Amino acid sequence: MYGITLTGQRKNDHFVKQLNMDPVFVNGLIFELEFNLQVFIQEENIIGACTPRQVIRLLMERPRDN
């Protein structure tokens, strides 16, 4: 839906600087991922997630029953 490639070098692209995403859309993306996967990521952890790879890592580290 967001057109973000999760393979190859693009997974390391910065959401705002290289993928040209508005920070509001980045927050929306993270919210949708949390909602659909039924996980909650602490805000202090999300702040440091600037690439698709970092967000995926945060989502995979969270237990699903939180």
Q: What is the mean pLDDT of residues 39-60?
A: 88
Q: Say what the pLDDT of residue 63 is.
A: 59
Predicted TM-score (pTM) of the model is: 0.76
Nearby residues of 21 by Cβ (< 8 Å), 6 or more positions away: 2, 15, 29
The number of beta carbons lying within 10 Å of the beta carbon of residue 40 is 11
In the chain, where the domains are located: 11-61
Higher pLDDT, 2 or 49: 49
User: How does pLDDT run across 7-28, given as a tens digit for each residue?
Assistant: 778 889 999 999 999 999 999 9
Q: Say what the pLDDT of residue 56 is.
A: 87
Q: Where are the alpha helices (DSSP H) in 1-66?
A: 23-37, 43-46, 52-61
The number of beta carbons lying within 10 Å of the beta carbon of residue 15 is 23
- Contact status, residue 40 vs residue 62, Cβ threshold 8 Å: yes
